[in-house]
């Protein structure tokens, strides 16, 4: 059975998702034994892939079935294609703005007890499970699974195929859900966490997470999760530093995948730091 990581990188506006994927891939290569990495790109982003990128990307995959997000500035509508895009039997699907700082290889055998295994709890930078619901009111009001699609696992199976097909239908019929089904929604465009929470409900699956085991999980650096204002840039509140692959935020060493959230976290200096790590 092949195992590997997958992300979508579709550059838009001033946001360089390809560069974030490049940093993510390097952090995985530097810390994981299971470290095959696939990136899904649209035609524009494919033209930006360099020989340097290809040193760490094991697979560069065109968006399957056409680009549903071609006209969007926030390109989420292809997320339902992860199963079709993945070259692996077992896949961890990641958002691009996440960094790996320590091995989580032992998680694979835990996650593989499920056909699909979502993150349903995130931690703050101190490593404490977040109970803050600032960003989760629609989930609570509608009784949805507390899905975080920044990191989730799936394997090739009928259950996974059913989930992704429902996600496709939710994306295609988003106004129906926001206007007539969901309570308390503000009418904004589809949010991936919410789309997959609805898809999980439509599947009527209650086993898409590990209720008795706290993995997968990740550090989420959104403001309210860490006790700050909702839109606060965490770097203005707490110090961080790197030592090889070790990342310390405040006085806490980050032990699980780190969702830095602020897209300009990726600097040329940080890229160079990881390139030098891999060249040693």
Q: Which pLDDT score, from 0 to 100, does residue 269 have?
A: 97
> Across residues 164-182, what is the average pLDDT?
94
User: What is the distance between the alpha carbons of residues 71 and 53, in angstroms, rounded to a whole number?
Assistant: 26
Asked whether residue 255 is assigned to any structural domain, the reply reads: no
Q: Do the strands 246-249 and 252-253 form a parallel or antiparallel pair, or are they unpaired?
A: antiparallel
Q: Which pLDDT score, from 0 to 100, does residue 14 have?
A: 86
Which pLDDT band, with edges at 50, 70 and 90, does 212 fall under? Answer: confident
Q: How far is CA 175 from the centre of its chain?
A: 24
Asked whether residue 115 is assigned to any structural domain, the reply reads: yes
Q: Which pLDDT score, from 0 to 100, does residue 13 have?
A: 82
Asked whether residue 126 is assigned to any structural domain, the reply reads: no
Q: Could you tell me which residue, 142 or 1, shows the higher pLDDT?
A: 142
First to last CA, the chain: 30
The tens digit of pLDDT for each residue in 112-162 reads 999 999 999 999 999 999 999 999 999 999 999 999 999 999 999 999 999
User: What is the distance between the alpha carbons of residues 161 and 83, in angstroms, rounded to a whole number?
Assistant: 7
User: What is the distance between the alpha carbons of residues 96 and 197, in angstroms, rounded to a whole number?
Assistant: 20
Query: Which are the contacts of 217, defined by CB distance < 8 A and separation ≥ 6?
Result: 119, 121, 122, 123, 129, 151, 256
User: What is the distance between the alpha carbons of residues 236 and 224, in angstroms, rounded to a whole number?
Assistant: 14
- The CA-CA-CA angle for residues 180, 181, 182, to 5°, reads 115
Question: Over the chain, what is the mean pLDDT?
Answer: 96
CATH number at residue 10: 3.90.550.10
CB 34 within 8 A of CB 105: yes
How many structural domains does the chain have? 1
The domain of 185 spans 3-121+138-205+266-279
User: What is the distance between the alpha carbons of residues 37 and 4, in angstroms, rounded to a whole number?
Assistant: 6
Asked whether residue 241 is assigned to any structural domain, the reply reads: no
The tens digit of pLDDT for each residue in 4-26 reads 999 999 998 889 999 999 999 99
Which pLDDT band, with edges at 50, 70 and 90, does 203 fall under? Answer: very high
Asked whether residue 155 is assigned to any structural domain, the reply reads: yes
Asked whether residue 210 is assigned to any structural domain, the reply reads: no
Asked whether residue 197 is assigned to any structural domain, the reply reads: yes
106, with CB counted inside 10 A (0-12, 13-18, 19+), is exposed
CB 90 within 8 A of CB 1: yes
Task: Count CB atoms within 10 A of the CB of residue 1.
Answer: 9
Asked whether residue 258 is assigned to any structural domain, the reply reads: no
């Amino acid at each position: 059975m092949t195992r590997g990581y997958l992300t979508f990188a579709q550059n838009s506006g001033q946001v360089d998702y390809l560069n974030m994927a490049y940093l993510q891939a390097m952090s995985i290569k530097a810390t994981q034994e299971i470290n095959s990495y696939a990136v899904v790109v649209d035609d524009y982003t494919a033209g930006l892939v360099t020989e340097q990128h290809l040193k760490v990307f094991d697979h560069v995959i065109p968006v399957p079935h056409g680009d549903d997000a071609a006209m969007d500035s926030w390109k989420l509508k292809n997320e339902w294609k992860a199963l079709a895009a993945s070259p692996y039997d077992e896949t961890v699907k990641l958002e691009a703005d996440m960094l790996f700082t320590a091995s989580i290889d032992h998680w694979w055998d835990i996650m593989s007890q499920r056909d699909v295994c979502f993150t349903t709890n995130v931690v703050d930078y101190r490593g404490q499970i977040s109970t803050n619901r600032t960003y989760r009111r629609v989930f609570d009001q509608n009784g949805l699974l507390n899905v975080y699609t920044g990191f989730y696992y799936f394997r090739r199976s009928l259950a996974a195929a059913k989930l992704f097909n429902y996600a496709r239908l939710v994306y295609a019929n988003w106004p129906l859900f926001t206007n007539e089904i969901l309570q308390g929604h503000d009418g904004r465009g589809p949010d991936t966490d919410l789309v997959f929470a609805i898809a999980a409900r439509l599947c009527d699956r209650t086993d898409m997470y590990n209720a008795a085991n706290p993995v997968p999980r990740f550090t989420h650096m959104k403001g309210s999760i860490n006790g700050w204002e909702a839109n606060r840039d965490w770097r203005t509140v707490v110090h961080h530093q790197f030592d090889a692959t070790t990342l310390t935020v405040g006085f806490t060493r980050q032990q699980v995948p780190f969702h830095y959230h602020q897209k300009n976290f990726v600097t040329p200096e940080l890229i160079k730091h990881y390139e030098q790590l891999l060249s040693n």
